[in-house]
Amino acid sequence: MSEPELKTIAPQLSAEDFTRLRELRANAPESIAAVLKSRTRRPLLTGDRRLFIIAADHPARGALGVRGDAMAMSSRYDLLQRLATALSRPGVDGVLGTPDILDDLAALGLLDGKIAVGSMNRGGLSGSAFEMDDRYTGYDVDTILRSRLDFAKLLLRINLADELSVRTIEATARVVTQAAEARLPVMLEPFMSEWVDGRIRNDLSTDAVIKSVAIVAGLGASSAYSWLKLPVVNDMERVMAATTLPTLLLGGDPDGHPDAVYAAWENALALPGVHGLVVGRTLLYPSDGDVAAAVDTAASLVHPS
């Protein structure tokens, strides 16, 4: 069987790396936990107190599309190659992923010295009838602690017309309480959402984002370890005035001209309470294919020299 084609411009991983990864998974799966436990860790915030995190938890929700390509993220080898390129760039502080992604990266030796963020609820599969019942099917607080990860992440889409939302809200409140008890930072990504033609649409108006912040910030028995992960929308000054929680900016889907996207990020990064970016497909699958250049541009916004 031939090795899969690797499409990134500047590969960081070789066919031999992938062979070793497959052999480790088949013959020594217990070594993945050992690698995670022994990896070099770093403080959450250092230097300029900012974070630049690469996001890669989309596939677990069945969301594989980028722009017009519905299966752009279908090759795990290509995705890992792109992640390796991104994580090698100066200014990249860490990565957000589901267990399969972080296990691969750990086994490949790519998590040392990086912030590892565990994605928790991926059960609201993209396009499903049960999308609003977004169950916790990935990490939980105990496994994040056991795996010596640094941060937890959850998504809360709030649909006032769908009864399934309340299950996710209740489960999210429990997770926030558990994270605070464990002194584990948890990244909360809220949206006000609605059904439109059988699909979930997130309301990105300023008022809707502010409402989602108000709801999610009050969940759980303590907000001491809660962070926010918010989209960049119009009038971000009003959004950031709605919370005292430390906030990271969501990169969003890779639409629009890159210069306009970068300008919006730069303006929002200057606001009080904003500590950095969490970006996935926009940088991993840029329109020109140059992952390193896209990541470097974003890193220069988060960590200006």
Q: Is residue 10 part of a domain?
A: no
Average pLDDT over the chain, rounded to whole? 94
Element (H, E) at 181: helix 165-181
pLDDT band at residue 135, thresholds of 50, 70 and 90?
A: very high
Does the pLDDT of residue 118 top 80, yes or no?
Answer: yes
- Model confidence at 12, pLDDT cuts 50, 70, 90, reads confident
In a domain, 226, yes or no: yes
Q: What is the pTM of this model?
A: 0.94
Beta-carbon count within 10 A of 147 CB: 20
DSSP code string of 2-66: PPPP---SS--S-HHHHHHHHHHHHH-THHHHHHHHHS----SS-TTT-EEEEEE-SGGGT---B
Residue 3 in domain: no
When divided into structural domains, the chain yields a total of 1
pLDDT digits (tens, 9 = 90+) for 171-212: 999 999 999 999 999 999 999 999 999 999 999 999 999 999
**Does residue 6 fall inside a structural domain?**
no
Residue 81 lies in a domain: yes
pLDDT 10s digits, 141-179: 999 999 999 999 999 999 999 999 999 999 999 999 999
Helical segments of 88-120, H only: 99-107
**The pLDDT of residue 251 is above 90:** no
pLDDT tens for 57-86 read 999 999 999 988 999 999 999 999 999 999
Instruction: Copy the structure tokens of residue 241.
Output: 């005035």
DSSP 245-273: S-EEEE---S-S-HHHHHHHHHHHHTSTT
Model confidence at 252, pLDDT cuts 50, 70, 90, reads confident
> In which band, very low, low, confident or very high, does the pLDDT at 7 lie, cut at 50, 70 and 90?
very low
Q: Which CATH number covers residue 102?
A: 3.20.20.70
pLDDT above 90 coverage of the chain, percent: 92
pLDDT grade, residue 294 (50/70/90)?
very high
In a domain, 212, yes or no: yes
Residue 160 lies in a domain: yes
74 within 8 A of 2, measured Cβ to Cβ:
no
The pLDDT score that the predictor gives to residue 254 is: 63
Can you give the residue range of the structural domain that contains 137? 15-302
200 in any annotated domain = yes
Q: Is the pLDDT of residue 249 over 80?
A: yes
